[in-house]
Amino acid sequence: MASISTWFRYMAHKLEYSLTLSLKSHRKEKLSDKELIQIVCKNLVYGKITFLHSSDKGREMAPTMGAHENTLLIRKIPIANTRYLFVGDAVVLKDPNDSDKYLVRRLAAVEGFEMVSGDVKEEPFVIEKDQCWVTAENQELKANEAYDSRTFGPVSTADIIGRAIYCLRTAVDHGPVRNSDTAMGQDSPVLAVELDVEEMAKNHKA
């Protein structure tokens, strides 16, 4: 059972998420102030800021995730920018080569970062505005074996839909996903309130 202080922190995150999304809709759809308030209140009462996701099979994210299918608890990101995403986070993003599929990769660099290759033939470059660089976690994979930015290049930050905060590999092998210290601090009250391992196990495909 989460403490009162944890619930307050959780509700603050939930309110920020709801307000951010509602204001985006307000600007796009020109909602009235009354409609805006109704949406915010509805999201606060009924909405969640996480969802379950079955991750892609493969070795790219080992050892955090197993080689078989994993069930992940994903924290939704209201706006994919450096206020909500941090280098070191395990993020869920649209596959650059197939927008109907999603990948889980580590956020390695964001706009403004200079990228330097170990290959002297490759010139350094700077990540452009609204772009980022994502990498596979498995250190045993060579660059040409890992399906990440070393293969497909920088990706649009807007293609990131959330951050993985808990991973269920099997019914007896599960735990929080290691992210940046800032992200883990922000996500701790969300995990305390919205994590339901039994529900994750029900949705898990062995």
Looking at the annotation, which residues are catalytic? 60, 105
Residue 182: left (phi > 0), alpha (psi -120 to 50), or beta?
alpha
Is residue 135 within 8 A of residue 108, CB to CB? The reply is yes
Q: How far apart are CA 128 and CA 149, in angstroms?
A: 14
Q: Which of 96, 66, 65, 70 is nearest to 160 (CA)?
A: 96
- CB contact set of 171 (below 8 Å; sequence gap of 6+): 201, 204
Residue at 152: amino acid letter: F
11-41 burial, b for 16+ CB within 10 Å, e for fewer? eebbeebbbebbbeebeeeebeeeebeebbe
The region that residue 151 occupies, defined by phi over 0 for left and psi between -120 and 50 for alpha, beta otherwise, is alpha
